[in-house]
A = this chain, B = another copy of it.
Amino acid sequence: MRDLAGSLRWLSLNTATVREQWDLRQAVEGCVRHDIPGIAPWRDGVQALGPAKAGALLREHGLTVTGLCRAGMFPAADATGRQAAIDDNFRAIDEAAAIGAQCLVLLGGGLPQGSKDLVDARSQFRDGLAAVMPHARAAGVPLAIEPLHPMYALERACINTLAQANDLIDELGSDDPILGVAVDAYHVHWDPDLAAQIARSGPRILGFHVCDWLAPTRDMLLDRGMMGDGLIDLPHLRGLVEATGYDGLIEVEIFSKDDWWRRDPDDVLRIVAERYRTVV
């Protein structure tokens, strides 16, 4: 395993971690100030500046863009809605290309309004993914399917396990480097099949995200913990990921409305760096 204690060279900040405090420009400057070499912006921040200007900003500061959050979410109630989702993914791919992102993160999307059919939603995700792959290939933007925790399956993300993501990639083009996965500790730590599915993912792993699972968790969406404050065995998970040969950055992504989003963002980045060195 890599020696994180000795260097911040593999650290990336997902801007969601300080989204209530900083806009994209401030987050970029914060990363530079704290010697954090990577960043993963969200689309609203990129769109606020404009993709070209955002890309220039990121390049000027020499940051590695580990991913753009987020697109996917293909299931919809009718053909118009499905086409709108595909069009939005085209725009997201263009934005990711403009900022030089290593990948575009895709979420499953929830049940369409009025539906309880998760099997159909998953099939719609597959169809949407197939529809946007040519555009991603042309733009040179790898698509990282990020399984989200099963507690989001119905409302937000019908792709919930690495097995699902790997099966999809096998089906749609297993040797095509345009498709990959993002492994997020918060979403996959519980999986009894984790070791096997990470090994199976191998070179498909385009991103590795960390935070922690708080006990108790007070909000299903916005109460994630800082690494070390919860119950996830992060070194174990990192070991599995790095055993596949993964040498990319480690992205810190913390949604925390009552804690980290209320703190001085420079304190947040200082603690992110410290925990990266000591508990990841």
In the complex the two chains form, is B154's CB within 8 Å of A118's CB? no
Query: Which interface residue of A151, A164, A190, A236 has the most chain B CB atoms within 10 A?
Result: A190
A111 and B220 in contact, given A122-B192, A150-B151 (Cβ under 8 angstroms): no
Chain B contacts of A155 at CB under 8 A?
A: 215-216, 231
Judge whether A98 is part of the interface by a CB distance below 8 angstroms.
no
The answer for the CA separation of A257 and B135 in the assembled complex, in Å, is 49
Judge whether A171 is part of the interface by a CB distance below 8 angstroms.
no
Judge whether A213 is part of the interface by a CB distance below 8 angstroms.
yes
In the complex the two chains form, is A192's CB within 8 Å of B164's CB? yes
Judge whether A204 is part of the interface by a CB distance below 8 angstroms.
no
A154 and B192 in contact, given A220-B220, A231-B116, A233-B116 (Cβ under 8 angstroms): no
What is the distance, in angstroms, from A225's C-beta to the closest C-beta of chain B? Answer: 12
In the complex the two chains form, is B154's CB within 8 Å of A213's CB? yes
Kindly supply a per-residue 1/0 record for chain A positions 109-135, scoring 1 wherever the CB is within 8 Å of any chain B CB and 0 otherwise.
Answer: 001000011100010000000000000
Chain B contacts of A117 at CB under 8 A?
A: 233, 236
- Copies of this protein chain in the complex: 2
In the complex the two chains form, is B111's CB within 8 Å of A231's CB? yes
Judge whether A64 is part of the interface by a CB distance below 8 angstroms.
no
Judge whether A199 is part of the interface by a CB distance below 8 angstroms.
no
Chain B contacts of A163 at CB under 8 A?
A: 192-193
Chain B contacts of A191 at CB under 8 A?
A: 150
Q: A residues engaging B (CB < 8 A)?
A: 111, 116-118, 122, 149-151, 153-155, 160-161, 163-164, 189-193, 213, 215-217, 220, 231-233, 236
Could you show 29 A-B contacts with beta carbons less than 8 Å apart?
A111-B231, A116-B231, A116-B232, A116-B233, A116-B236, A117-B233, A117-B236, A118-B190, A122-B192, A149-B151, A150-B151, A150-B190, A150-B191, A151-B151, A151-B190, A151-B220, A153-B190, A154-B189, A154-B190, A154-B213, A154-B215, A154-B231, A155-B216, A155-B231, A160-B192, A161-B192, A163-B193, A164-B192, A216-B220
